[in-house]
Each structure stands twice: as structure tokens, then as C-alpha cells.
């Protein structure tokens, strides 16, 4: 299990570096805007499930289901509507903040900071609310794309 945490740390670090360098070197691409959130979502989902299995009280099962369904819905809608789009709609700020709160909550368990375990449910609820609001914004964009001729 410790190897998983090291791998996750490497994934998070390389994701941060990739985004930082893409912005810094002005090499942001539509493909990157599409693939980066998918990779982030898969990594966070896998981490959520592994934490749920290892520490059943760490993260509610309903959150794992919600997060999986959200990611799957966004992936399917992206495949359907992106061919109609003039450009790729990147991650929205509300979703990014949702991921920050989720990562904080998961990180508390990953690093095993027992004195902060009681904060995790609060962080997960905030993450859920922000990720849901983010989903609504994506649905708004997909609706606009669906009515586009």
C-alpha cells in the first residue's frame, strides 16, 4: 500500500508540473484540456476507492458512486458534444476547488494525520457540493452545444 501513495504523489506532482509548464510556456492545447481532467478524475476515483476499501470510514461509498457517475457522464457527454464545439471547454474553477477539497480530505487519510480525521467528512461534503455545481455548469455548456446548429 505505501507504494500506491508514492505513485499517487508522483501522479499529483507530474500533473501539477504539466499544467504549470503548459501555462508558463504557452503550450496549452485542446487535447490537454480534454485529457488532463480525465486523467485527474481517474486518479482521484481510484484513490477514493482504495481509501474506502482500506479505511471504510474514511470516505462514504455514496461519494465514490457520485464521483464515478459524474466522471462517466462528463466523459460520455464530451465524446458526444466535442465534435460540435469550436474549442474545448477546459476545467472550470468551481470543479478545481472541489478537487482541492477532495484532495485535502483524501490526503489526510493518505498521510495518516489522525488528529485531522474528523475534518474529512466536512471536506468531502464541500467537495461534493462544488463538484455538483461544476457538473451543472458543464451540463449548461453541453446544453448550449446541443442546441448549436
Quote the pLDDT of residue 94.
Answer: 94
- pLDDT averaged per 10 residues in sequence order, the chain, 149 residues: 69 75 74 70 85 84 94 86 69 89 87 87 96 94 80
What global pTM score does this model have?
A: 0.81
Our separate counts of H helices and E strands in the chain read 5, 0
* Farthest CA pair distance, the chain: 55
Quote the pLDDT of residue 121.
Answer: 92
Quote the pLDDT of residue 41.
Answer: 82
120-147 vs 93-111: helix crossing angle, rounded to 10? 150
Which grid coordinates are listed for 13? Answer: 506532482
30-54 vs 93-111: helix crossing angle, rounded to 10? 30
Which grid coordinates are listed for 41? Answer: 478524475
What stretches of 26-115 adopt beta strand conformation (E)?
none
Quote the pLDDT of residue 22.
Answer: 75
Phi-psi region of 112 (alpha: psi -120 to 50; beta: other; left: phi over 0): left
Query: Quick one: which H or E segment has residue 95?
Result: helix 93-111
Angle made by CA atoms 122, 128, 134, in degrees to the nearest 5: 140
123, 60 Cβ separation under 8 angstroms: no
Amino acid at each position: 500500500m505505501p507504494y500506491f501513495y508514492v505513485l499517487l504523489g508522483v501522479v499529483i506532482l507530474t500533473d501539477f508540473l504539466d499544467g504549470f509548464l503548459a501555462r508558463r510556456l504557452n503550450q496549452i492545447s485542446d487535447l490537454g484540456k480534454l485529457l488532463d481532467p480525465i486523467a485527474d478524475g481517474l486518479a482521484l476515483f481510484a484513490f477514493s476507492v482504495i481509501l474506502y476499501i482500506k479505511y471504510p470510514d474514511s470516505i462514504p461509498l455514496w461519494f465514490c458512486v457520485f464521483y464515478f457517475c459524474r466522471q462517466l457522464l462528463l466523459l460520455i457527454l464530451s465524446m458526444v458534444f466535442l465534435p460540435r464545439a469550436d474549442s474545448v471547454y477546459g476545467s472550470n474553477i468551481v470543479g478545481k476547488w472541489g478537487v482541492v477539497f477532495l484532495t485535502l480530505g483524501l490526503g489526510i487519510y493518505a498521510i495518516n494525520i489522525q488528529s485531522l480525521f474528523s475534518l474529512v467528512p466536512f471536506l468531502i461534503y464541500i467537495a461534493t457540493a462544488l463538484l455538483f455545481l461544476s457538473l451543472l455548469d458543464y451540463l449548461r455548456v453541453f446544453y448550449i452545444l446541443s442546441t448549436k446548429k
